[in-house]
Amino acid sequence: MRKTRIAVLCSGGGTNFQAIVNAQEAGLIPHGEVVLVVADNKDAYVLQRAARYHIESVVVDKREFPDRAEREEVILSVMRGHDIEFIVFAGFMTILSADFVSAYEGRIINIHPALIPSFCGPGYYGLKVHEAVLARGVKVTGATVHYVTEVCDGGPVIAQKAVEVREDDTPETLQKRVMREAEWVILPEAVELVAKKLQGEE
Ligand code: GAR
């Protein structure tokens, strides 16, 4: 079977990347294959994970390319150079311009650690999301996979999963539970769903 060529873009630890690779190894992503990891800093632990699975990686470091337009041009040329058809943001802490998004319209997805439209948009990323959830006192949170558009966290929703907030949660314990119960479950499922859909559009 032909596989949609996937790039995963990350900024840090890469546990969501790991979840995608685990699903791939278990045969749960038959319509796609992760062929490239792009990190926006050279110290991102995800680079070690990629090496372990012999998946090619490229660093487009924010410090080396502080100008966003220039950085995006570099990322786009890396994508084109590797014949990438589908881009997955898995903990990628960069907001991209409309120009970048339009070059891969309907072909970029993102995982967000809350139930969009709650606790999303500029400033809501990583642990900050869980801090805001606890400060507001909501009893249910979760994760969302959505298409990326020029509006931060504003694209069409693909999948969501709810997670209980506990009385004794800290931002760290809540983050861990949201990852384990929601993110690592719905992201690999969404990757397969979109990889398959993109083949139907050929
Ligand atoms: C994940 O919780 C992801 O949902 C979040 O960053 C973490 C990355 O962890 N993404 C955002 O906040 C995007 N706005 P990981 O590197 O271990 O996958």
The tokens describing 24, both together, are 């791939």
Domain CATH for 185: 3.40.50.170
pLDDT of residue 202: 64
Could you tell me the sign of the dihedral formed by the alpha carbons of 182, 200, 8, 101, in that order?
negative
Nearest-angstrom CA–CA distance, 156 and 15: 24
What SS3 state is found at 32?
A: strand
Active site residue 112: yes
Helical spans, DSSP H, in the chain: 15-25, 46-52, 68-81, 98-103, 127-136, 171-178, 184-200
- Determine the number of helices (DSSP H) and then strands (DSSP E) in the chain: 7, 7
Q: Which are the contacts of 41, defined by CB distance < 8 A and separation ≥ 6?
A: 11, 59, 61, 62, 63
User: What's the 74 CA to ligand 1 centre distance in angstroms?
Assistant: 23
Calculate the average pLDDT of the chain.
Answer: 96
What single-letter amino acid sits at 45? Y
Residue 85 lies in a domain: yes
User: What's the 16 CA to ligand 1 centre distance in angstroms?
Assistant: 7
Tell me which residue has its CA closest to atom 17 in ligand 1: 15
Residue 92 Cα: closest atom of ligand 1: 13
- pLDDT score of 2 more than 80: yes
Residue 54 lies in a domain: yes
User: What's the 113 CA to ligand 1 centre distance in angstroms?
Assistant: 7
Q: Which of 31, 112, 130, 146 is catalytic?
A: 112
Which of 154, 37, 178 has its CA nearest to residue 95?
154
Tell me which residue range forms the domain holding 54: 4-197
The tokens describing 53, both together, are 């699975």
- The answer to pTM > 0.85 is yes
- pLDDT score of 84 more than 80: yes
Residue 202 lies in a domain: no
Q: How many domains does the chain have?
A: 1
Residue 26 lies in a domain: yes
